[in-house]
Amino acid sequence: MNTTFQPSSDAGQTPKIKKSQLALAIATFGYSGYFPKAPGTIASILTVLLWWLPIYAQTPIWIRVLVSAVICVIGVLASESARHFWGDEDDPQPIVIDEVAGQSIALILCWTNIWAMALALALFRFFDILKPGPIGWLDKNVKGGLGIMLDDIVAGLAAGILVGVARWFFVAG
């Protein structure tokens, strides 16, 4: 497994190479997937930090849903293209856009409280690492870019539902 691929300069590159490097940059979330320890957790933490301002600005939930959906679609395409750098491996460790998508989904119903954001992070990582029930089935049985993304999307949905329940109890209740 080649986990040391680094892009070269743009000089003299064909459009196909530039497209591949863009897919790699997206799939590794700005190359953060190369972090030597727990790159998925690092990507999830970075995602929470990036979502902090929209959450505290109380961005409407429909915008959060739209942004998360765009991340999912772009993630499937980038993952499918970038996984070829690792010999078509099913889910290369440096590809972390799936964690970004799942964590984004888990944050959709989050409210303006640091503990709520920590809850969304903890719940998503729980579902993503342990892969209970259908999450594990998806991880084992769906291949390609969609397979890389889908288990994390469902883990994000599971975490997001629990965050929504917590929101109902602590904010609306």
The answer to whether the CB of 156 falls within 8 A of the CB of 106 is: yes
Q: What angle do CA 27, 119, 35 make, to 5 degrees?
A: 30
The answer to whether the CB of 32 falls within 8 A of the CB of 42 is: yes
Which class for 52: exposed (0-12), middle (13-18), buried (19 or more C-beta within 10 A)?
Answer: middle
Local structure of 107: helix, strand or coil: coil
- Give 87-101 as a DSSP string: TT-SS-TT--HHHHH
pLDDT tens digits for range 133-170: 999 999 999 999 999 999 999 999 999 999 999 999 98
Q: Would you place residue 10 in the very low, low, confident or very high pLDDT band (cuts 50, 70, 90)?
A: low
Q: Residue 17: which residues within 8 A CB-CB, separation 6 or more? A: none
Q: Would you place residue 12 in the very low, low, confident or very high pLDDT band (cuts 50, 70, 90)?
A: low
Q: Where are the domains of the chain?
A: 16-172
Q: Report the Cα 135 to chain-centroid distance in Å.
A: 15
Residue 119 has pLDDT above 60, yes or no: yes
Instruction: Tell me how far apart the alpha carbons of residues 111 and 168 are, in angstroms, rounded to a whole number.
Output: 10
pTM equals: 0.89
